[in-house]
Each structure stands twice: as structure tokens, then as C-alpha cells.
Amino acid sequence: MRKNNNKDIKNLRKKKNYTYRPISSALERVLYNPIKVLDKGFIRVVDYMGNDSSIVQAARVSYGKGTKKKSLDKGLIRYLLRHKHTTPFEMCEIKLHVKLPIFIARQWIRHRTANINEYSARYSILEDEFYIPRKINLAKQSTSNKQGRGNEIDNELAKKIIQILKEDSKRNYNNYLWMLNEEEYEEYDNTRESLSRELARINLTLNTYTQWYWKVDLHNFMHFLSLRADSHSQFEIRAYADILLELLKKWVPITYEAFCSYKLNSADLSAEALEVIKKFIKGKKVKRENTSLSQREWDELILLLN
């Protein structure tokens, strides 16, 4: 972030406000502070509403925050999540400021259950900041998954790829500035016309960093995490999801624990898979050919049961 932004954040953190609202003390401690992601990205909490007690309050439609016994709140929250009673979780919201590469932003925005305001490259000029993967994160195309990665690639080839990414990013950005032809840049030429910002931006590479404000309720926040914190998700967006998981833990620790139990570290089973498990429990030997499961479903079930 630029130095003046860091100064703004320090000023925000100096100012303390008294409130009657329910707060999360752990989340308050990281409020406004940018948490680094990837090479140049970050996530920072700008604002939030509610905590674990707010979920309990909404579920019971009561005046109180929750109950005197934390165990009762915990039991209710786990019950709500286990039985997919999601409305009480929608009473809590969080607003984040996120800096991320454009290609990750395009995956992220597939979750259409949030309010988003992105930095406008039609109005402003994007900075020359690009995501460059580390060599360890460069991998071959997966042979079993068309949208996934396979094994790591050769070290020398990795160096060449990183060099190409850096050179292409810089060259395209320089051409972007040339097309803009604005007075504050070194190569400004008052003898030629400038291309509009909304068109000049189309020359930028997808690893260019953008920024946005993302506001979402707790229910949809957890749905996002259940998909993007999954091991099958792309590494780069999973890096952001890992930070979001830590923020979830600080924000609503009881809900976080229930989320890990029923969503993140659990599995959905089909009726057919459940029948197979029942037979296993009874000590019966089951062959895939005697079930209605496909080979892939069978392999996934056996892997799940280890």
C-alpha cells in the first residue's frame, strides 16, 4: 500500500468510538490493518456487524444478546448450522477491502451474494503491480483435472516462465501508459491524442492487481469459504480464503468451530453412498459392481472412508 494509505490506517486506529453494539474483541484488534496475501495483495477488515451472540439473538428473536451459559449458545449455533437454518447467520455482516489479481477477482465475483465496489480503471489509472507466482507454485497441467494443476515443472523452465510473466506484464503496462498519454507521465506527447482509459485498460495482463470493497453476510461468507478454502480450489484464491478463515475465527469463534465441523471438514453423501456405508457397518463386503455408484463416486467414497 502507498505511504499515505498507511498513515490513514494509523489515524483510523487512533480514533476509538464507544458503542452499544455487540463487538468481537479479536476482530477489533485487526480492524483496518492490511493482512498480506500472495506477493502484493492484502485483505483488511473495514467494518462488521454482529457476533456469535447476534446469531443467537436473531434465532430466538429476543432482546438479550444470548444466554448466560456459553454452552447453550454453542449448542444452538451448532444446531442451526447442522440443520441448515441459515437465516440467523444472515444477521451478521462483514465489509472487507481486498487487493487481488484480476484473474482471481474474476473467480471471486462468481459468488453473486455480496455487495462489491471495485476500483474503476475507467476513471482512474491502475498501478504497475502484478502477481508473479513463486517457482514452487508453478506446475504442469493436471492430466486428471482440466482446470487444475499437476506436478511441479522443471526448475530452469520455471525461471523462464517467471521471466516471461515479468517482461510481458511490464511491457503491456508501458504500452498502457503510452496509449493513455497523460501529462504526468514521462513519455507524454502533446502532439498526439490520448486513448480513453476504458479502452487502454484492455491491454493489461490478468495478473494486474485490482482492489475492491466486498460486503457479505455471514451465511454467504461461509458458503464462499466452503468452496474456496477447499483443497481443490486454485492455490491463489485459496491463499485469500485461508486469511478469511482466520478472520472468521476472530469474528465468530463459536460459529467458526461449527463451520469446521459441519462444512469445511465434512462431506456430503448421496443416498446410494449412505447405503454402502450401512452395509460396511454391518460387516458386509460390498463390490462397486453391486452398487449404483460410478467408478469415480466409488473411488471418492473409499478415499473418504480411508
Cβ-based burial of 224 (10 A; exposed 0-12, middle 13-18, buried ≥19): buried
Choice among 44, 197, 201, 228 that is catalytic: 228
**Quick check: 250 pLDDT over 50?**
yes
pLDDT digits (tens, 9 = 90+) for 73-107: 999 999 999 999 999 999 999 999 999 999 999 99
Q: Which CATH number fits domain 3-131+207-264: 3.40.1110.10, 3.40.50.1980, 3.40.309.10, 3.30.1360.170?
A: 3.30.1360.170
Specify the pTM: 0.89
Question: Hey, how many other C-beta atoms are within 10 angstroms of the C-beta on 282?
Answer: 7
Spell out the domain ranges in the chain: 3-131+207-264, 271-305
**238 has catalytic annotation:** no
- Mean pLDDT of all residues in the chain? 91
